[in-house]
Structure 1
Amino acid sequence: MIISNTYASSTQSLDHLVAIMKHRKATGLVIIPIYFKVTLSDIYGSKGKFEAAFLQLQSSLQEDKVKRWKAAVTEIVSIGGIEWTKGFQFILAEEVVRNASLRLYLKNSKNMVEILSLLEHSECLDVEIFGLWGMPGIGKTSLAREVFEILVPQYDLCYFLQDFHLEFEMKGLWQLRDDFFSKIFGEEKLSLDASDTKLSFMRDRFHNKRILVVLDDVSNARDAEAVLGGFGWFSKGHTIILTSRKKQVLVQCKAKELYEIQKLCEFESFRLCKQYLNEESEVISELISCSSGIPLVLKALVSSVSKRHINSVKEHLWFLLENSPSLIEGAFRRSFDCLDENEKNIFLDIACFFRGVDMDHVVQILDACGVYTNLGICDLIDESLISLCDNRIDMPIPFQEFGRFLVHEEDEDPCERSRLWDPSDITNVLTSNSGTDAIEGIFLDASDLTCELGPTVFDKMCKLRLLKFYYSTSGNHQFMLSLPQGLYSLPDELRLLHWEGYPLENLPQKFNPENLVQLNMPYSDMVKLWEGKKNLGNLKILKLSHSEKLTDIRMLSEALNLENIDLEGCTSLVDISSSIPRCGKLVSLNMKGCSRLQSLPAMVGLTSLKFLDLSGCLDLEEIQDFAPNLKELYLAGTAIRELPSSIENLTELVTLDLENCKRLQQLPVGVSNLKSIVKLKLSGCGSLGSLLKLKAVDCGTS
């Protein structure tokens, strides 16, 4: 249906519009309005061309007739449609066909089917309040509008308000409230006093009317309730549908049924792409992946990709963020701006560094930074900005790129940004020794880099709390970040220090690790961590795996809060009897492949230890005792001849691996009483005697 700038001047056209709207209500007719060389503000605004035309007509025609025309115009505007102010008409025709196709697809989408099923099978005896929630750009408005269009014929009075949050900010409570009551009372410029909105008055007035109200994008439950005059006067036969980015807002609105809008599946994404890209395109799969099933992003990407050549979809997404903010950035910006500082910092850290990472790992690091991480993550989930999948933090690619875009916008110069992840930016900052106290985090994938760092490279980065150098594609562990002149210091604010292939024999003596929570330095050249003692009171995770020159870890005895120690493949370690902290917090100790290891500490005091791996410790002949609460014990390939009798007390032991313990001669009699064992490996134990006494144990010699 085409509406032009002269439409309101034609009484015949206006009568035709009234008839169409009446027919639409009776039959559910689908209408796609086309606003040809006229904008919605011209039609709906109090100072627009349509309002001026109505004032002129009102002086010469009956007021009731003009009121019907205005109501029909208000209704057609609520449907939305296509604004076309300039361009070739054949392009307009393509847009109309595409719009019609997308609406037909939407009617048959999984989300629409499930929402309508939810509405249909609801058996509420009171007012029905439904809540639709989901992340920015997921299609809440489109779905709510389509549901509204489908339900309109079933109701006597219908009201749809798009962008409730923005309208509330622009117009305020009283104007929105007056607009709503004017609509349902059927009176223009209605002024209500307190008695007019009493529950008894409203119930009596509308008890025999079926009312449908849709409020789109509600961010505050109290605002929605205030605009509607409260939820108390609504009764049976009345339906309220609310959409929000926040599930909790809908709960506060006492929604009886909640539905989370799902992302587009791959087929739905592909079908949307084909509406814009007529021929097979190699970038379609990348478009689908980069959009993460978010309709708004996918539409913005495919519609613009069809008009220009691109080399990278992610680069093009950045182009849209920079040059077409209304398309994508606007949808995400409000969600970000509504966050408090704690939530913003967590969001940016996840976007830059921790997407796809185990939540417990993230919480451990960020809590040490003074952040309320658990609370912040819960709020980000409620805002539909992140989700959890198998305890890993999932953030859609567009949200990640938006977060990184925000950091990129902090300053044109990378050395003045808070977080760095781009290899070229980081390389420039490090090699030019231009780091500043603005930098809080650096995650560098150095797989394809070869560069030398100066000894004072970190001296000016006094606020650096997260440092990670890793190699995502290095299969042969050839590490090409070198420190030919050594390293004078590291920032004392570091909570995470992860440096694969660290090229020096120890860490800088000036470095105070009192804030350090995780120290991950696999494949390093370290011989010892430091000379002397350091404050390691906050250290919880230590990973020095495959550091083949490492001989001395005695300073760890001071790390009383260690929970995880990984020394796998540290082939120069011989004696750690005085190195493991004697406290009850250690959960996991991995010494696999420490082929020269000969001596272990007493473990009876390690009451939290659940995992112990000593497999491949070829020189290990004797074990004094075991931690009392072990669940997994791996001793494969060791030189032990017998197990200590304390193994009989490991009532929680699930796995016992003694494979290829060729010198093992017997097992303690009490092993047969370990009811919890699920896996017992004894293959290759050629010296082991009879197993007849192991009646209660499944000796799976796999």
Structure 2
Amino acid sequence: MEASSMNQHDVFIDFSAKDTRYSFVSHLSAAFLRRNISIFLGLGEDCSQAATQQAIEGAKVFVVIFSQNYAFSPLSLETLTKFLDLQRRENGPVVIPVFYGDVTPSVVEQQLERFGVAFSEHRSLFSEDDRVERWRNGLVEAAKLQGYESNEQPNDSELVDEIVADVREKLYPTGKIGIYLRLDEIENLICKQSNKVYRLGIWGMPGIGKTTIAQEVFNQMSHDFEAVCFLQDFHVKFHEKGLHILREEHSVEKLRGKTVLVVLDDVRNPMEAESFLGGFDCFGIASLIIITSRDKQVLHQCQVEGVYEVPSLNKKEAQRLFNGLAFPKEKPSDSKLVEVSNKVVEYANGNPTALCFYGRELEGRTKAEEMEVDFEKIKRRCPQRGIIDMFKSSYDVLSDNERSIFLDVACFFNGEELDRIMQIFEGCGFYPHVGIERLVERSLLMISKNRTVEMHNLIRDVAREIVNEENNQILRRRRLWDPSCIRLLLEDTEPKSLAKLKIINLSHSQQLVEVDELSKATSLEKIDLQGCTSLERTPRVDQLKKLQLVNLSSCTRIKRAEIIEQIKGLDLEGVLRETKSGSMVFSTLVNLEAEENTESV
């Protein structure tokens, strides 16, 4: 059945009419046609072989919908094997499998459930030729191709959007992975109003693709306007050339009153953007101004009507970008190498800049062990100077309070619960409610749905490099997170200046035998030694007048524990030993845990 009168079609869609014709395939077909993508619908036995063969020869993309009854159609199975044969040729069509409903790749590959029933029938009907074996091999091959599983998407609508965007990239390649899906989302935000100038903000962390997306929007829409202007790296050029020269270069005065498309990329000061344009409302009706920024507050100050937050690349997009750089000749087939490359992709967390960096650094690795070792080396060494500078420009404009919170999260609290971090920072005299909110607005932090504070691995690495650059002497740095550096500190038995230290958490350090000198930690409020099963004695705490809480639960080897009088919380669960307190009376003790299955303080 043809959905277009053209002899050649962009996309051939094959499916089981019984399962998906009036539901998923109907929505998918409509989405393709809205994008002017011509389609041919293969309807199994309802479609003539001549029409099917003509469509097969002309299609550029083959989308096969694997549902429970798909394998009962010999014509569909034959069509699949033909497309797989064509795909192996130079400039052959691309095959995209969609595993719909409760059909998974393993069901297709192993011919389970209804697929197994269908092949039992085929073996009875076609016992004298090799077609059944070819069909079986075709399903095995198709199941291993990169495709889509409907049960991984929240609804069919999002699945349709992803498939259409993927097909558009294959039909009209831009070299920018995931661009069409993002263009569709931006298109939904842009309200083409005839009586006003519309302002759109594009927001996201450095390296996430704001400029790339803005450039592609500009390329796609520029023909709809009387005049256009794209100014990349606006902040840098504004300060390099000055306002007047920049306005003259782009003939801003000549744009007044016209219907224009203007893109200002990387705006950090809203006043600079407004002064460059001569005001946001001096252009003709239906004009579009797009402003990209890593700071959401800047966009609000520019009074944008809509903000598009650039999402990270999804798993499939990230794998395509990384694999294209790390394995330029062919995709890895070794399962261990695939596993390691997936770890790298996961670590990059969907940031295109990070994926490009790791892909280029790891190019040419053909063995899993080699790639894994080299990736660990990359993680340990500082990022490239260009990447550091890209993120450091965001760090440089932070207040002292915001810098402290930013560096502390990078070194100690990435992934921790927001409420716990708030409590710690408030105890340190920071202003975390304001500080964390600004870091989120500047795209340096994010709060997850589970209310944990998350920092991208690349930003964390840059932040830690900033800490390293503060002082070349490891033991003089204000923040230590690397176990090897901490070991140096512990091996140095000289008294340390620990006047600002408030919390010591050495919980579950199973090799810890003793904790030495803490007399200098005069501000210490809490010591957590829970689960230190090798610990034989507690540190001397008689001079720690601010100490409030001590957790010794499950410290099964402790023989004696010296506890000061003013302590308010003491956890001795699992410690059935004598507690030495002299003749002190614990008049301030409000919480004593000494029974099994009680929570630690």
Shorter-chain TM-score bucket reads: 0.5 to 0.7
User: What displacement does 1:313 show?
Assistant: 2.4
Could you say if the C-alpha distance between residues 337 and 315 of structure 1 is closer, same or farther in structure 2, counting changes exceeding 3 Å? farther
Match of 1:178, SS? helix
CA distance in 1, matches of 2:345, 2:210: 19
100, 105, 127: which is aligned to 2:177?
105
The corresponding residue for 2:544 is 512
Aligned to 1:315: 377
Tell me, yes or no, if the aligned pair for 1:318 and 1:405 is still in contact at 8 Å.
no
Q: 1:122-171, CA deviations, whole angstroms, 9 ceiling, x for partnerless residues?
A: 54731100011011111101111111111111111111111112122222
Distance 2:269 2:460 in 1: 26
SS for the counterpart of 1:213 is: strand
Q: CA deviation at 1:412?
A: 3.2
Give the SS at the match of 1:240: strand
Identify unmatched segments of 5+ residues in structure 2. 1-168
Task: Give the partner amino acid of 1:336.
Answer: Y
Does residue 492 (structure 1) correspond to residue 522 (structure 2)? The answer is: yes
How much has 1:496 moved relative to structure 2? 5.3
1:520/1:143 CA distance change after superposition, 3 Å: farther
| 1:116 aligned residue (179, 184, 187) | 187
Which of 334, 340, 343 is 2:399 aligned to?
Answer: 340
Give the C-alpha shift of residue 116 in structure 1. Answer: 2.2
Aligned to 1:275: 324
The partner residue of 2:201 within 117, 124, 131 is 131
From 328, 346, 350, give the equivalent of 1:293.
350
Question: Which deviations, in whole Å up to 9, do the C-alpha atoms of 1:474-508 show, x marking residues without a partner?
Answer: xxxx8211228x64525123355433345355552
Aligned length: 411
Asked if structure 2 preserves the Cα contact closer than 8 Å seen for 1:144 and 1:243, the reply is yes
Q: Given the superposition, is the C-alpha separation of residues 497 and 346 from structure 1 closer, same or farther in structure 2, using an over 3 Å criterion?
A: farther
Judge conservation of contact 2:194–2:286 (CA < 8 Å) in 1: no
1:493-642 to 2 correspondences below 5 Å:
493-494=523-524, 497-501=527-531, 503=535, 505-514=537-546, 520-524=551-555, 525=558, 530-533=563-566, 545-549=573-577, 558=588, 567=593, 570-571=594-595, 593=597
Aligned to 1:284: 341
Give the distance between the partners of 1:124 and 1:256, measured in 2 at CA.
15
1:467 aligns to 2:531 (yes or no)? no
Secondary structure, in 3 states, of the residue corresponding to 1:512? coil
Residues 290, 313 of structure 1: 8 Å contact kept: no
1:429 to 481, 485, 489: 489
Alignment counterpart, residue 300 of structure 2, candidates 246, 251, 263 = 251
Q: Distance in 2 between matches of 1:370 and 1:523?
A: 33
Aligned counterpart, 1:178 = 248
Q: Distance in 2 between matches of 1:470 and 1:462?
A: 22
State the distance in 2 between where 1:124 and 1:513 align.
71
- The question of whether the paired residues in 1 share the 8 Å contact of 2:322 and 2:358 is answered with no
Q: Residue in 1 aligned with 2:53?
A: none
* Residues 548 and 166 (structure 1), Cα distance of their counterparts in 2 relative to 1, 3 Å cut: farther
Partner of 2:470: 410
Q: CA deviation at 1:315?
A: 2.9
Question: What is the SS of the residue equivalent to 1:420?
Answer: coil
- Structure-2 residue corresponding to 1:261: 310
What is the SS of the residue equivalent to 1:129?
strand
Indicate if the aligned counterparts of 2:214 and 2:292 stay in contact, CA closer than 8 A.
yes
Query: 1:363-416, CA deviations, whole angstroms, 9 ceiling, x for partnerless residues?
Result: 111211111111111111111111111111011111111111222223333201
- CA–CA distance in structure 1, aligned partners of residues 507 and 358 of structure 2: 32
Q: CA deviation at 1:178?
A: 3.0
Partners of 1:499 and 1:426 in 2: CA distance: 17
Change over 3 Å in CA distance of 1:558–1:247 after alignment to 2: same
Contact 1:369-1:495 at 8 Å conserved across structures: no
Distance 2:528 2:459 in 1: 26
Determine helix, strand or coil for the equivalent of 1:212. strand
The reply to whether residue 353 of structure 1 matches residue 384 of structure 2 is: no
Alpha-carbon distance in structure 2 between the residues aligned to 1:138 and 1:394: 16
Distance 2:356 2:324 in 1: 9
After superposition, what is the alpha-carbon deviation per residue over 1:314-368, rounded to whole angstroms, capped at 9, x for unaligned? Answer: 53145461xx311x21221111111111111101110110011111111111211
Deviation at 1:526, TM superposition (A): 7.8
SS in 1 for 2:378: helix
**In 2, are the aligned partners of 1:212 and 1:238 still within 8 Å (CA)?**
yes
Cα distance between partner residues in 2 of 1:130 and 1:218: 13
Matched residue SS, 1:481: coil
**3-state DSSP of counterpart to 1:275:** helix
Counterpart Cα distance in 1 of 2:578 and 2:204: 51
Q: Give the match's secondary structure for 1:250.
A: helix
Q: Which residue of 1 aligns with 2:152?
A: none
Q: CA contact under 8 A between 2:382 and 2:461: conserved in structure 1?
A: no
Q: Report the CA distance shift for 1:543/1:148 in structure 2 as closer, same or farther (over 3 A).
A: farther
The residue matched to 2:470 in structure 1 has which SS? Answer: coil
- Residue 169 (structure 1) aligns with: 239
Pairwise CA distance, 1:461:
3.2
CA distance in structure 1 between the aligned counterparts of 2:499 and 2:473, rounded to whole angstroms: 18
Would the alpha carbon gap of residues 152 and 488 (structure 1) be closer, same or farther in structure 2, given more than 3 Å must change?
Answer: closer
Distance, in Å, in 1 between the alignment partners of 2:354 and 2:526 is 34
Compared with structure 1, are the counterparts of its residues 256 and 498 closer, same or farther at alpha carbon in structure 2 (3 Å cutoff)?
same
Q: Distance in 1 between matches of 2:231 and 2:209?
A: 15
Contact 2:562 2:579 in 1 (8 A): no
User: TM-score with structure 2 length normalisation?
Assistant: 0.62
Local SS of the residue matching 1:558: coil
For CA contacts below 8 A with separation 6 or more, give which structure has more relative contact order: 2
In 1, the alpha carbon distance for the partners of 2:192 and 2:574 equals: 61
Larger mean CA deviation between 170-179 and 292-301 belongs to: 170-179
Q: Which has the larger radius of gyration?
A: 1
Contact 1:137 1:296 in 2 (8 A): yes
Question: Following the alignment from structure 2 to structure 1, what is the Cα–Cα distance between the partners of residues 426 and 220?
Answer: 48
**Residue type of the alignment partner of 1:159:** C
Preserved CA contact (<8 Å) 1:365 1:517:
no
Tell me by how many angstroms 1:302 deviates. 0.3
Partners of 1:270 and 1:151 in 2: how far apart?
Answer: 29
Q: What is the aligned counterpart of 1:220 among 269, 273, 278?
A: 269
Which residues in structure 2 correspond to 1:204-219 (within 5 Å)? 206=257, 209-219=258-268
Report the AA paired with residue 481 of structure 1: L
Q: Counterparts of 1:488 and 1:256 in 2: how far apart (Å)?
A: 56
Measure, in 1, the Cα distance between the counterparts of 2:562 and 2:192: 65
* Contact map agreement 1:159 1:184 (CA 8 A) in 2: no
CA distance 1:117–1:240, shift in 2 (3 Å): same
Displacement of 1:555 in angstroms is 7.4
Report the CA distance shift for 1:545/1:421 in structure 2 as closer, same or farther (over 3 A): farther
Aligned equivalents of 1:526 and 1:343: distance in 2?
44
1:428 is paired with a residue whose SS is: helix
CA deviations 1:229-259 (Å, max 9, x no partner) are 1113134221100011111111111101111
Aligned AA (2:341)? I
Residue pair 2:531, 2:554 contacting (<8 A) in 1 also: yes
Shift of 1:523: 2.5
- Change in CA separation of 1:488 and 1:259 when aligned onto 2, cut-off 3 Å: closer
- Residue in 2 aligned with 1:367? 426
Q: Paired residue for 2:513?
A: 482
Superimposed CA distance per residue, residues 645-664 of structure 1 (whole angstroms, 9 cap, x where no aligned partner): xxxxxxxxxxxxxxxxxxxx
Inter-CA distance 146–466: structure 2 relative to 1 (3 Å threshold): farther
| Cα distance in 1 for residues equivalent to 2:242 and 2:551 | 54
Query: What is the RMSD of the two structures over their aligned residues, measured on CA atoms?
Result: 3.2
- Structure 1 position 230 matched with structure 2 position 262: no
